[in-house]
Chains A and B, each alone.
Chain A
Amino acid sequence: MNVVVCVKQIPDPADPGQMDPETRTLKRDVKLILDESDSYGVEMGLQLVDAAGEGEVVLVSMVPNNEVSGLRTALAMGAGSAVLVSDEALAGSDALSTAKVLAAAIRRCEADLIITATESSDGYTGTVPVQIAELLDLPSATFAKSIEIDGDVAKVQRQTEDGYDEIECSLPCVVSVTAGVVEPRYPSFKGIMAAKNKPVDELDLAALGIDPATVGWAGARQEIVDIAEAPAGEAGEIIHDEGDAHERILAFLDDLKIL
């Protein structure tokens, strides 16, 4: 069972750096780390490979520079190898370009299953997973809270507002998993050391046969036209209980149309 997990390497949310006023995107010249959203997919992939008793988790990641530290984290968790697509021409890629590049890289792996997160923590368009599926002409399931492999079928529980749907996809397929549904293992010191010797296949656009004019700033069909500061959180209302607090809380919730 070979599971490809797409992992995005992003600026550390605890220390995200600056927005670039010209391109209106996040500057990515800082150290990039594993997007926490993807740690759930890595964990799920590892559990599926364990359950199958054979195969490995292969990571696929795309970055404009040749950052590997996020990949090392996922390799330290137990993934077997990684494919890194790295090319300066990738800077400014929109979601579709990203999906094209990832799809081209995934094609080179013999994947039984492709896992992504539902959305990344920095771009969060949530569009890449289904785009990959479309480009590879594979079935896709989204918002998975669990994946079980039964023969050549993936049984997926898809999170819904009220509960979950049970769906089945023939393999190979693309499944996006929801954050928080498994407990990602911690990369141990042994894992960290072992990760250094695991293969990371670095590819550029030429190696994938992708024309640089179709990706990056050059090929982007999506443009960020404006960015604005998030409005500061407003001070909450403090209700002092004078015997009627419960009524005022109900009225407050009623106003918000929560009740």
Chain B
Amino acid sequence: MPQLQTTYPRPPSSFLSDDHDDFRRTVASFVEREIRPNADAWEQDGQCSRELYAKAGAAGFLGLRYDPELGGSGLDFMATCVLAEELAKGDSIGTAVALMAQSEFALAILADEASDELKAAWMAPAIAGELIGAIGVSEPDAGSDVAAITTRARRDGGDYVISGQKTFISNGTRADFITLAVRTGEAGPRGISLVVFPTDTPGFEVGRRLDKLGARASDTGELFFDECRIPATNLVGEEGHGLRYILSHFGGERLVIAAFAVGIMERLIELGLDYAGSREVFGGPILGLQTWRHRFAEMATRLEATRLLAHHAARLLSDHEPPGDMAVSMAKLHAADAVQFVAAEVLQLHGGFGQMEESPIPRYYRDVAGFSIGAGTSEIMRELIARALI
């Protein structure tokens, strides 16, 4: 891929400091050196390299918001936004998902609710990139309706014995541990708990690595649990509070998806401007056509609206302001729409070339299809916004 002629003229954000700008440069050079050169191979392999976690850990990416005692950086969601925006530009969203499914999805609940022993045993090595973590909630019969999960954890003396099945789990095929949602009590919302599940537990089995439309460098797994015995001390927080922990930590996941969308839109607009500036049609560059100039204006407007909404949500979430949940739902809803719009526009702009796998455009087009599904669907986002509103 030749060096792009165009750099998206990102406006300064009043939510970010010079430190964030410097950190953005760190992440951008990480993407340039570690991700983009490997993107094609990892997309092909269906997973990024394990070594990448160690490199991301050494660069401090996997523990931005967490306790410095555990190797984290003690920052807030603004830093998460910058990391996600830049990681998404490596032409391999799957790789970005693989890293952040660990740093923001698997670890977030542990950071707030797990015992010090669990944090030391699992969070610290995950922040260093020595272990891979996953968040295991979804099941074949429970997706949007989290309260419907049936994977059972039976108390037996000092242990839990776990049986059931999970699916669509990012990092699932090679995670060292899973922040796992299990049913410890009655049916319904109050019978759910979270445990840290070590994947070397006897009775645990990884099924297929699922073959999917986009985000292909992120492995997505089916997981089976057959009478898996783990110590009861692996319980996260209190028994029966699992659903509350899950729902109150979805914000970070949703913010990450919105920030990925921001980064992808920047990259797509850069790719688009480059192409439109050099490709001549009817004796002039596409960029000279008002039709396309206006379409770029529309794309940039949706990008900036997404960025502001995402940064606004990040600020509120960081300050533990209750409207943060509504803002982050809006950010994710808007982001999925905007990025799917921009991907379709830039695909159209590239004509036949946009259909060719040698260009990064078709991959982005596929990658963003899932943005209105993962971490809560757009329908669920609307439902949450309506509930906050009405």
Contact = CB atoms under 8 A, between A and B. Distances in A.
B73 interface: yes
Interface stretch (A2-10, A92-100, A189-197, A239-247): A189-197
B19 A192 contact: yes
Contact of B26 (A15, A186, A196): A186
A59 interface: no
Interface size class of B (residues with CB under 8 A): 10 to 19
Interface string B1-18: 001000100000000000
A73 B75 CA distance: 19
A15 B59 contact: no
B224 interface: no
Contact of A192 (B3, B22, B58): B22
B23 interface: yes
B101 to A, nearest CB: 20
Given A15-B7, A192-B19, A187 B73 contact: no
A239 B367 CA distance: 36
A158 interface: no
Interface residues of A, number: 15
Interface string A46-75: 000000000000000000000000001100
A185 interface: yes
B22 A188 contact: no
A143 to B, nearest CB: 23
A196 B26 CA distance: 16
Given A189-B60, A190-B60, A190-B68, A72 B30 contact: no
Contacts of A188: 26, 59-60, 73
Contacts of A15: 7
A190 B127 CA distance: 14
Contacts of A90: none
Contacts of A200: none
Interface in A13-42: 14-15
A190 B26 contact: no
A185 B58 contact: yes
A188 B79 CA distance: 11
Given A15-B7, A191-B60, A186 B30 contact: yes
Contacts of A115: none
Contacts of A187: 22, 26
A188 B58 CA distance: 8
Given A186-B59, A189-B73, A72 B26 contact: no
A76 B59 contact: no
A76 B7 CA distance: 25
B273 to A, nearest CB: 16
Nearest to A185: B58
Nearest to B34: A186
Among A185, A186, A190, A196, residue most surrounded by chain B Cβ atoms (within 10 Å): A186
Contacts of A193: 19
B22 A73 contact: yes
Contacts of B68: 190
B64 interface: yes
Contact of B79 (A72, A185, A189): A189
Given A185-B58, A186-B59, A76 B22 contact: yes
A192 B7 CA distance: 24
23 contacts: A14-B3, A15-B7, A73-B22, A185-B59, A186-B26, A186-B59, A186-B60, A188-B26, A188-B60, A189-B19, A189-B23, A189-B60, A189-B64, A189-B73, A190-B60, A190-B68, A190-B73, A191-B60, A192-B19, A192-B22, A192-B23, A193-B19, A196-B19
A-B interface, 10 closest residue pairs, ranked by CB to CB distance from nearest: A188-B60, A186-B59, A190-B73, A192-B22, A189-B23, A186-B26, A189-B73, A187-B26, A192-B19, A188-B59
Interface of B: 3, 7, 19, 22-23, 25-26, 29-30, 58-60, 64, 68, 73, 75, 79
